[in-house]
Amino acid sequence: MTGALKKLGKEVTAIIGDSQYPENLMSLPNREWIQDKSYSQIEPKEFDLFIILDSSLPTQISRSGVSFPEGMKTIVIDHHRTNEGFGDINLIDAESSSTSQVLYILFKLWNVEIDQDMALYLLLGIYADTGGFKYPNSSPETLRIASELVKIYPNYHKFVFELENYKKPIELELTGLALSSLEKHLNDRVVFSIIPFEEIKKRNLSKEDAMEGLIGDTLRSVVGWDVVASLVEAEPNVVTVSLRTRDESKYDVSLIAMSVGKNGGGHKGAAGTTIYESLKTAKTQLLDKIVERKYFLTSTL
């Protein structure tokens, strides 16, 4: 988006938000365009327009909350069907594989030339959000767009490799820890992995490192585990939850995520939320919400 706006002659400030820039993306071109700042570190009144990408809630812009000043317009561009449409203008395409796919179409409508750097970013965005074209959100149109981007940037393989193969030792350690603390429910069709704060503190880990223990995708790979959740208590009484399902035609984990904790949402097959309770209470609340959906009614009789 920054590249497209620059081509249109706009003065652009791009910020990363609350998160740290991922180490496995450091080698991507134009990294310097994105400032390591959160919304609270800029002066919103200095800007005419704020374009918000891939965020279905204002709290996903910043966990500390945001306030849009009078005079600054907001545009939300997203593909999550849980998006509230909180911008002055909202471009939300829930049928699209990714926000990157939405941007590709938008740039074409703007008659903005997609150069090699832009093509690489859009391709990686589509690849990541479709799980390497494994998820049902990969449509024929998605593959067509990806093929067009590959024509522009044919040497993308190195960056896909870095995207998928950049694990840190702590990630493997926490994966092992998460797998050693599985809880099975509802005839083993619902499975939780649990990492309590005591384990995070014992290892003197940062909150960012603790998030490496979210292994929802790993749990989803097991046949028979229909709905899975990875719970990490990176701070006392703050439990981050990653929800996944093998079959999103039967189970919609975004509805579960939206019904428990705060700032929950996502896709049918992959969603997340944060529960501001003790780990024990968080587990109970999450399981109660899964039971309320009546997905497993017949299996519990």
Tens digits of per-residue pLDDT, 24-44? 888 899 999 999 999 999 999
Buried b or exposed e, range 43-73, using 16+ CB within 10 angstroms: eeeebeebbbbbbbbbebbbeeebebeeeee
Residue-wise pLDDT tens digits, 161-187: 998 888 889 889 999 999 999 999 999
Position 136 scores a pLDDT of 87
Position 301 scores a pLDDT of 32
Position 296 scores a pLDDT of 79
Instruction: Read off the pLDDT band of 295 (50, 70, 90).
Output: confident
Strands 182-185 and 270-275: unpaired
CA angle 229, 234, 236 (to 5 degrees): 110
In this structure, whether the domain defined by 2-164 belongs to CATH 3.40.50.620 is answered with no
Residue-wise pLDDT tens digits, 273-288: 999 999 999 999 999 9
- State mean pLDDT over 121-150: 95
Domain ranges of the chain: 2-164, 169-300
Instruction: Specify the CATH number of the domain 169-300.
Output: 3.10.310.30
Position 300 scores a pLDDT of 39
Instruction: Read off the pLDDT band of 101 (50, 70, 90).
Output: very high
For 25, the token pair is 């993306």
How far is Cα 239 from Cα 281, in angstroms, rounded to an integer? 10
- State mean pLDDT over 94-106: 97
Residue-wise pLDDT tens digits, 215-269: 999 999 999 999 999 999 999 999 999 999 999 999 999 999 999 998 898 889 9
- State mean pLDDT over 147-156: 97
- State mean pLDDT over 128-147: 94
- Average pLDDT for the chain: 93
- State mean pLDDT over 140-154: 98
Q: Which of 119-123, 146-150, 162-166 has the lowest mean pLDDT?
A: 162-166
Instruction: Look at residue 299 and tell me whether its pLDDT is greater than 80.
Output: no
- State mean pLDDT over 203-219: 91
Instruction: Look at residue 297 and tell me whether its pLDDT is greater than 70.
Output: no
Residues 6+ apart with CB under 8 A from 56: 78, 80, 82, 83, 84, 265, 266
- % residues pLDDT > 70 (the chain): 98
DSSP code per residue over 105-134: HHHHHTT----HHHHHHHHHHHHHHTTTTT
Position 161 scores a pLDDT of 93
